[in-house]
Chain A
């Protein structure tokens, strides 16, 4: 027993000085009931004007631009896009990788940081998971229509058919089908299961019959008994472990799609790692873009504090540094390999004629702008963080573009070189998916528990039975 050896005075003497002590997860340590009110206030309150101002354009993009571009492409053919020989993978694949990338940081925050017991993640974990679920859904759409004949998508699924054919599993493209579907499925399950206790909170707080009915169904009869928490926590740990596996697998498999090809610029063993880190980096950028306005507008400043954003920014910096290392390695290996095609592709990424702008955006943003995050002044300046988050998203998008298009447009034979320019349908589809993502995200913020209420309550000192605030009779740790 610790308290038999050390009494409270002794513990207080040994405790680190105030400035070194870890700040509380929630500013001011509000009481459990007040915290519940605070965290459910936005979903229960009147819809503010900013929500409509953002929702209407997003909904327009999602319900008008998106289906128009989608159906026009499906009914007409892939020819409506700019994809043509030799650039057969255009914006559709660029956006696919970009969306998968955005998803990864969400899983990393919600799953990997749970396993490493980072309590601060509880306040942003739910918003990160929602980002994951919606962006994987957007990503999954692209390959399905990129195949050109979307009505043959079922060819990708191994089930007995009258043609007697099976999918060819020696291609990583087939693995991708399973990877992306699994990612969507598992992250949705994880997201949903995490929300069950919070649905119960909403159910018990509901004032109207409609709300009560809806959240009663969603909460599935959750009562919060010790037995239920016992199994729930176990399932949560298992799902976190599985999601963590997916963080490292899904983008690796997307990377394998590239590195098994013979194209110079793609055929590199670093690609799986490259894609994972790039994905996480891009996702942290998106996380900053989503968190900074929402914490203010939804009144969550005491829950998502500057300290939280500081940590997200530090994670972005770390992943940005790894990305920088990978860029250096890529260029070095291209030179060191002595392969003239590799050297050609890589020198043309920065000094070519057509796409060198994208190459320089990549270097300036992902390598240059990221270094600003070293400074505490910048990490605590929310406007700067928001802009850096946006820039990281643009930088990573141009990285995807450079990898996909920049490697394809000038391949081995000069006779088969070509140019690629996205058409209005390429861009429209991207705008449509962006709209759909933000529409879903705004709906999530308005109607579902956007912060994991029970998880946040669970890491408060009030929740610790051995803490004075948690009702410990004597002793306890300070």
Chain B
């Protein structure tokens, strides 16, 4: 086999099983591994050690930026560049500028959340080594798959296979890396 190895994958049948297996793998000291599931598993974030996602910050920055920018734009257009008296209202005021700024803040924050989600997940991508595996198609159906990456310091095809099998993983298989 001339191709590089991406990692080893093992199948589990229920979120309970995969959660326990994930706890064991974490305790065994693996670093480069991930759990693939058809839906978010309650409690997996703690096992994987994920802290609060940064997506919220993307939304805050883009939303806040959009608010400030719209606020500035309204001042520039209606009070500075082309002041126009309308119904004796002030050229620039909170009531007139808040609503459009607020609306565009929502738009900015929504785009920020989406961009943040894509950026942090490294999406969109056209390919992933796991998508070559026929069994991996089951992950969007009802299987739970743990992949331990070949980049992990403790990785060895035989030892990692033993670890996964001892945790109850079925169909342990090598994932090739075509790159």
Contact = CB atoms under 8 A, between A and B. Distances in A.
Nearest to A227: B34
Contacts of B150: none
Interface in A420-477: 454-455, 457-458, 462-467, 469-473
Most buried by B among A220, A221, A224, A242: A224
A68 B113 CA distance: 40
A159 to B, nearest CB: 10
B35 A225 contact: yes
A347 B139 CA distance: 64
A33 interface: yes
A463 B97 CA distance: 46
Nearest to B96: A170
B100 A470 contact: no
Contacts of A256: 99
Interface residues of A, number: 72
Interface string B21-43: 00000000000001111111111
Most buried by B among A166, A197, A230, A455: A230
B126 interface: yes
B36 A225 contact: yes
Interface string B90-115: 00000011011011101101110110
Most buried by B among A166, A185, A220, A467: A166
B48 interface: yes
A182 interface: yes
A338 B114 CA distance: 52
A353 interface: no
Given A170-B86, A465-B42, A32 B36 contact: no
A471 B20 CA distance: 10
A470 B14 contact: yes
B109 A242 contact: yes
What bracket does the count of chain B residues touching chain A fall in? 35 or more
A204 B141 contact: yes
A221 B103 contact: no
A471 B13 contact: yes
B20 to A, nearest CB: 7
A221 B128 contact: yes
B113 A242 contact: yes
B167 interface: no
B39 A170 contact: no
Most buried by A among B13, B35, B38, B104: B38
A31 B142 contact: yes
A56 interface: no
A223 interface: yes
Given A221-B124, A234-B56, A235-B55, A465 B117 contact: no
A158 B59 contact: no
A303 interface: no
Contacts of B87: 170
A205 B44 CA distance: 26
Given A231-B117, A466-B43, 15 more contacts: A33-B142, A182-B103, A182-B104, A190-B110, A205-B140, A221-B126, A222-B123, A224-B37, A226-B41, A232-B117, A234-B56, A235-B114, A249-B106, A465-B14, A465-B16
| Closest 9 pairs (CB-CB, A-B) | A471-B16, A471-B14, A220-B124, A458-B39, A166-B77, A221-B125, A234-B53, A235-B117, A32-B142
5 contacts: A182-B104, A197-B140, A238-B113, A256-B99, A466-B43
